[in-house]
Structure 1
Amino acid sequence: MAYILNIETSTKNCSVALAKAGEMIVCKEIAEMGYSHAEKLHVFIEEILTEANLKFSDLKAIAVSQGPGSYTGLRIGVSAAKGLCYALDIPLIAVDTLEVLASQISIEEGVIVPMIDARRMEVYSAIFDKNHQKIRDIKAEILNEESFSDMNETIYFVGDSSQKAKTLLQKDNFVFVDDVIYPSAKQMTKKSYTLFANNRFEDVAYFEPFYLKDFMIS
């Protein structure tokens, strides 16, 4: 069975999960106001392997959240993932960050709009259907009172932009899921295993995070 280490560092949440054939074994994560990824990430990785009684050589792949999100967070996560892949000679898997965020809720009707804060009133967002299939691609957009107003179905908003979005987005069909704030490595495990099983790997030498925007200090 394939052991895959999943790394998610695109927001304030520094999250690592170990999975076997897509089923999570253990996860460690912490979301702090200041970005502590550089200090926490490698500690979490080592602790997870120790708890699972595994060695680095037992890993078959490394999965990383590819963005969009914090430039600093993504850079740290991707650098760690690529370093492990190089050292262990195992493949790198990239997972869409907004898909990871959207997959934290299940709905029977309507759509899911995951949003990651991009400073001021700007967000990174996409739209997913009830089956978590992307129906509108990722973009950076500045929220205003007319955002998503052309959509009549129920829209479930998730992510760390909900609080600021509430001040503008007030239509009756808008639902804010306040307890889903950050993407987590927990929600990467099934997707990363599917990609692994289908040999959907990245070029370790050339892979770069999906920043979407030019660098801004996070």
Structure 2
Amino acid sequence: MKALIIDTSLEISHIILLQDYEIIYFKKFENVNLSKELFTNLEKILHDTKTDISTLKYIAASIGPGSFTSLRVGATIAKTFSYAKNIPLISFTSMQAFRPHFDTKFIVAFDAKSEGIFIIEAEEINEKINYLSKPKLMNIEEATALIEKTKIVITPHIDILKEKFEIFKNKFQKRSFDPHLLIDVTNNLFSNKKFEDINNFKLLYLRGPKHS
């Protein structure tokens, strides 16, 4: 069966349509009117792949961290389809789309503007990722103490964070968004029946965690 992943937390948004562990359609777009273009792109993907949305085994949406508007657009569409078609709803953090590609403990970090940074701690062993924490917002002092003890920090915001943490700039590495990581995460959540309540779908905004 097919499944749908929607990620609107970063500067580039992503739609992934998958069959089991295989990507059958991958769309990314940026600098658009997301509230309009996301739904339009979804309609086109479903049409082009002859996919009946009611047959999806799950819909997954990012909880962030991301901007207020973009996160709510993605979450609203996912929740609407989930409710209307009785499809399981799954959440993930976009931080789970990044990895170092070698065995090590590491941090994924997203810039949180004036608030500091969002981080998630993880470990890669034999190409598998074990998450050691949930996403959390840290101020500069807290993050500095953690980064000091960490070998590598993966981030899509490398220039900004190198400037914020100049003393540790050699620890920061940029990696590309990896859709296969999100497929692994969401398929695992589906297998373990870890579904979300559409009325309690919590989002992480870049200026601090709030509830939607």
Task: Quote how far apart the aligned CAs of 1:53 are.
Answer: 1.9
1:117-128, aligned counterparts within 5 Å? Answer: 117-120=111-114, 122-128=116-122
Task: Answer yes or no: is the 8 Å Cα contact 2:162–2:172 preserved in 1.
Answer: no
**Tell me, what secondary structure is at the counterpart of 1:166?**
helix
Whether 1:11 and 2:10 are equivalent positions in the alignment is yes
Aligned to 1:130: 124
3-state SS, counterpart of residue 6 of structure 2:
strand
Counterparts of 2:67 and 2:9 in 1: how far apart (Å)? 5
CA RMSD across the alignment = 2.6
Equivalent residue, structure 2, for 1:84 = 81
Taking the aligned partners of 2:71 and 2:60, their CA distance within structure 1 comes to 13
- AA aligned to 1:71 is F
| Structure 1 CA distance for aligned equivalents of residues 133 and 184 of structure 2 | 22
Q: Which runs of 5+ in 2 are unaligned?
A: none
Q: Give the CA deviation at 1:121.
A: 6.7
Match of 1:31 in 2: 30
Q: Are the aligned partners of 1:155 and 1:174 in contact in 2 as well (CA < 8 Å)?
A: yes
Matched, 1:63 2:57: no
| Identical pairs, percent | 24
> Is the deviation greater in 206-215 or in 39-48?
206-215
- The alpha-carbon deviation at position 172 of structure 1 amounts to 7.7
- Pick closer, same or farther for the CA change 1:207–1:127 going to 2, 3 Å: same
Are 2:37 and 1:43 equivalent residues in the alignment? no
Alpha-carbon offset, residue 41 of structure 1: 0.9
Aligned residue runs from structure 1 range 162-201, under 5 A: 162-167=158-163, 168-171=165-168, 174-177=171-174, 179-180=175-176, 187-201=181-195
2:72 is matched with 75
Of 136, 158, 162, 1:139 maps to 136
- Three-state SS of the structure 2 residue aligned to 1:64 is strand
> Is the 1:154–1:175 Cα contact (8 Å) retained in structure 2?
no
Query: C-alpha separation between the residues in 1 aligned to 2:68 and 2:21?
Result: 28
Q: Post-superposition, which runs of at least 4 consecutive aligned residues in structure 1 deviate over 3 A?
A: 142-150, 169-173, 183-187
Change (3 A) 1:66 1:128: same
Give the conservation status (yes or no) of the 8 Å contact 1:3–1:20.
yes
172 and 201 in structure 1: CA distance in 2 versus 1, 3 angstrom threshold? closer
Between the two proteins, the alignment pairs up a number of residues equal to: 204
Please list the CA deviations of residues 26-73 of structure 1 after superposition, one character each: whole Å capped at 9, or x if unmatched. Answer: 1111133xx632122112211211222222223221111122222212
**Do 2:103 and 2:123's aligned partners in 1 also have CA atoms closer than 8 Å?**
no
TM-score by length of 1: 0.80
The structure where helix makes up a greater share of residues is 2
Question: Structure 2-normalised TM-score?
Answer: 0.82
- The answer on whether the counterparts of 2:203 and 2:210 sit within 8 Å (CA) in structure 1 is no
In structure 2, the residue matched to 1:108 is: 103
Gaps of 5+ in 1: none
